[in-house]
Amino acid sequence: MPTITVKDGTEIFYKDWGTGQPIVFSHGWPLSADDWDPQMMFFLSKGFRVIAHDRRGHGRSSQTGEGHDMDHYADDLAALTAHLDLKNAIHIGHSTGGGEVAHYIGRHGESRVAKAALLCAVPPIMVKTASNPGGLPKEVFDGLQASLAANRAQFYRDLPEGPFYGFNRPGAKAQEGVIANWWRQGMMGGAKAHYDGIVAFSQTDFTEDLKKITVPVLVMHSEDDQIVPYADAGPLSAKLLQNGTLKTYKDYPHGMITTHADVINAELLAFIQG
């Protein structure tokens, strides 16, 4: 399997298919590069080079006990882009991956970056604080950690069966294959990485990262996102960006890159080519 070894010895698995302008995908918690299959196949067919990695502790990357924070996530992504010598790249991040993309650009600069897209992403900051009164209480994330520690396998069944894909909404028809694939990806990773990752995605403040970004950024978010609530995420990020565009959906779920891949892919392509 293709991997790179970063400076602390962690091995990062990645996929690198095709030629042309590179598109780099950063996945959500607690998944893997496989979550981008619908996008990678689509953009590969359009003549792009598509790249996705498993975040440290996730998927096929090392199940290291340390470094599960946004600084390490961003530095691992920077190491991958340097290893592949990517230029004029488009970075697309979903959920936690959106935070990774924002922090990567804010921390490492735009010399290799052409555009970015943040999909149902965690920035500017998820947790409720004095400066972010619309955020979710810390107790919500403490509860996620408790559920993971108590019975990770069941917890990773309940999330995709319910709020992640909106299968708990009236009239929604659950897709067993989608649920099973979510569970498979989650259980490939390490419990410690996923436990610490909850703090990373919920408590990191990306405000200053967003302010630094000057390349065009498409912010895509659904008003019915049950994982990363819309009002405290997408619109606020778009306002902080110097060159941001907000695209809102009324009733798509958090996992819209899977359930509505045809729409999402077409609009990402239009943004990239625009």
Q: Tell me, what's the pLDDT at 3?
A: 98
CA distance 238 to 12: 30
Helix or strand (DSSP H, E) at 6: none
The crossing angle, in degrees rounded to 10, of helices 70-83 and 96-108 is: 70
The crossing angle, in degrees rounded to 10, of helices 176-188 and 138-161 is: 130
Q: Tell me, what's the pLDDT at 5?
A: 98
pLDDT in 10s for each residue of the chain, 274 residues: 899 999 999 999 999 999 999 999 999 999 999 999 999 999 999 999 999 999 999 999 999 999 999 999 999 999 999 999 999 999 999 999 999 999 999 999 999 999 999 999 999 999 999 999 999 999 999 999 999 999 999 999 999 999 999 999 999 999 999 999 999 999 999 999 999 999 999 999 999 999 999 999 999 999 999 999 999 999 999 999 999 999 999 999 999 999 999 999 999 999 999 9
Q: Tell me, what's the pLDDT at 160?
A: 98
Range of the domain at 195: 3-273
CA distance 198 to 143: 10
CATH code for the domain of 155 = 3.40.50.1820
Provide the number of structural domains found in the chain: 1
Scanning the structure block, which residue is given the tokens 């990752």? Answer: 197
Task: Return the SS3 of 85.
Answer: coil
Active site residues: 95, 225, 254
For residue 50, what is the DSSP state? E
Say if residues 53 and 31 touch (Cβ distance below 8 Å).
no
In 6-45, the DSSP E strands lie at 11-17, 22-26
- Closest C-alpha among 114, 117, 52, 49 to residue 87: 114
Say if residues 128 and 75 touch (Cβ distance below 8 Å).
no
Q: Tell me, what's the pLDDT at 1?
A: 86
In the chain, the N- to C-terminal Cα span, in Å, equals 35
Q: What is the phi/psi pair of residue 247, to 5°?
A: -120, 115
Say if residues 125 and 229 touch (Cβ distance below 8 Å).
no
In 43-146, the DSSP E strands lie at 49-53, 89-94, 113-119
